[in-house]
Amino acid sequence: MLLAALSPLSAAAQPTAAGVSAPTPPAPTAEVAPSAHPLPSGALKFGHCESPIAYAEGEPPDHFAHELLEWRAARPDRYGYGTLPADIRLIPDTAQQKELHLVFDEDPLVRGAMRAMVSAASPHGTVVLHVRDAVDRPVAQRLLDTLARGNGRISEGVPPEGIWLRDFGGHPVSTASGPARLDFDYTVDCVVDDGFPASIEPVVRVPLWVEGGSLLTDGKVCFVADIVASENDLSPAAAAAALKPLGCDETVWLLTMPDSIPHLDPFMAVTDPRPDGRTGFVLADIDAKADPEMHGALEENARRLAPYGEVLRVPVPAGRPIAPQLNVMLFNGVVMVPDLGSMDARLWLGLQDAWPSRKLVPIPATGLAELEGGPHCVAATVPER
């Protein structure tokens, strides 16, 4: 049934992933502002809320709820209506980028990393800060004026709830209809999940749970956390089949780490192509005596990755949850590397080998690490296409 939901639909109502018919949305009236970046119109609403109208009838979950409901009603083509576009191609993690998106946040655990990322990224492209309210706006603008070297702007889109743009900001893709973002299901409040990605690019809703750090790609092969299949009540084969029309020509299932967030990006990344042209990976290596179980999981991942490219192993300290030492953020000429207070020289040398043409910039990330995140988790990008 999930595969049926991912197939292009006619204007008539079709079964959704849950097997319930979705009504054809009403045509926008003259008073409804059309989207600046329309996708094909169609019947299926890829909604992540079982009953989104409940937010209008009862207590709103946050003070953005009504504003986001208005955004949804005014932009049916961008807010979950439409057929699945043809020829979806995922953008490689190493691609050239036009914009880096971050949430402006003054929380002490986040503030230092956010400011360092603005400073590191702005010489290499536009930095876009998303603010939550009018109080944040002038502070964020002063930050851009100081650190972004004239290469930043404040977003006018949907205000964000959290900071984890990698999860709810969507995966950038190219389609036959133009640029878009795949918005997978996410575990936080669906108002934010469904509302935010459309403030970056047109959205394709996907009725499949995939958090941002659970899927990495070289543009053709998708490297996906094995929990994605089980969380969607699918076999690995069925989950891979569901991902194929979304640009995953092949899916490689990888193990997540014990007692850690079920993502891949804390302990691995896709590198620039190696000298022989193959895909490269940088993968954590943990001492077998310090944590035999985690060491074994990483060794198994290395085995699964080996047929697809060169695997560069770098040492990271043992501990649970795993230290997000490889939660790096690539942005054109720079690689933003989590600085967790200390770094093995072999790790730094390994990262230089992984991205020899890019500058490594340490990002103070001890606060983000306390939240089991890092620079990759808090950023979304708009690639050059």
Query: Residue 371's domain is classified under what CATH number?
Result: 3.75.10.10
Residue 138 has a pLDDT of 95
Tell me the chain's radius of gyration from C-alpha atoms: 20
Tell me, yes or no, whether 27 lies in a domain: no
The distance of Cα 326 from the centroid of its chain, to the nearest Å, equals 16
Residue 258 contacts residue 297 (beta carbons within 8 Å): yes
Look at the block and give the residue holding tokens 């193959």.
Answer: 278
129 in the same domain as 240: no
Tell whether 103 and 247 lie within a shared domain: no
Domain that holds residue 128: 93-154
pLDDT at 16 over 60: no
Angle at 115 between CA 152 and CA 214, to 5 degrees: 90
The pLDDT score that the predictor gives to residue 38 is 34
Rounded to whole angstroms, the Cα distance separating 133 from 159 reads: 7
Question: Do 246 and 348 lie in a common domain?
Answer: yes
Token pair belonging to 64: 């953005």
Whether 260 and 136 map to the same domain: the answer is: no
Domain final residue pick, 134, 154, 174: 154
Q: What is the mean pLDDT of the chain?
A: 81
Q: Are residues 227 and 369 in the same domain?
A: yes
What is d(CA 287, CA 141) in angstroms, rounded to the nearest whole number?
45
Whether residue 361 is found in the same domain as residue 249: yes
Residue 78 maps to a domain:
no
In a shared domain, residues 137 and 217: no
Phi-psi region of 113 (alpha: psi -120 to 50; beta: other; left: phi over 0): alpha
The answer to whether residue 120 is domain-embedded is yes
For residues 101 and 230, membership in a common domain is answered with no
Which tens digits make up the pLDDT trace of 309-340? 999 999 999 999 999 999 999 999 999 999 99
In a domain, 205, yes or no: no
Lowest mean pLDDT among 52-66, 76-90, 115-129, 290-304: 52-66
- Tell me how many degrees the CA angle 146-134-192 measures, rounded to the nearest 5: 105
3-state secondary structure 124-146: HCEEEEECCCCCHHHHHHHHHHH
Q: Is residue 229 part of a domain?
A: yes
Residue 128's DSSP bridge partners are: 101, 153
- CA–CA separation, 106 vs 237, rounded Å? 43
Q: 223 and 332: one domain? A: yes
Residue 86, token pair as written in the block? 């043809």
Question: Is the pLDDT assigned to residue 302 strictly greater than 90?
Answer: yes
H or E stretch at 185 = strand 178-185
**Among candidate residues 106, 123, 154, the one where a domain is terminated:** 154
Q: Are residues 125 and 261 in the same domain?
A: no
Amino acid, single-letter form, for residue 132: R
Sign of CA dihedral 78, 162, 230, 225: positive
What phi and psi, each to the nearest 5 degrees, are found at residue 171?
-95, 125
12 lies in some domain: no
The pTM assigned to this predicted structure is 0.82
Residue 283 neighbours by CB under 8 Å, 6+ apart: 267, 268, 298, 301, 302, 305, 311, 312, 313, 314, 326
Signed CA dihedral, 102, 103, 109, 114: sign only: positive
- Name residue 21's amino acid: S
Number of domains present in the structure of the chain: 2
From 136, 154, 172, give the residue that closes a domain.
154
Amino acid at position 169, single letter? G
- Per-residue model confidence (pLDDT) at position 10: 23
Looking up tokens 């990755």 gives 305
Q: What is the mean pLDDT of residues 169-190?
A: 81
Task: Tell me, yes or no, whether 112 lies in a domain.
Answer: yes
pLDDT digits (tens, 9 = 90+) for 84-141: 788 899 999 999 999 999 999 999 999 999 999 999 999 999 999 999 888 899 999 9
Asked whether residue 384 is assigned to any structural domain, the reply reads no
Same domain, residue pair 147 and 286: no
Peptide bond into 179 cis (omega under 30): no
Q: Coil, strand, or helix at residue 118?
A: helix
Q: Helix, strand or coil for residue 172?
A: strand
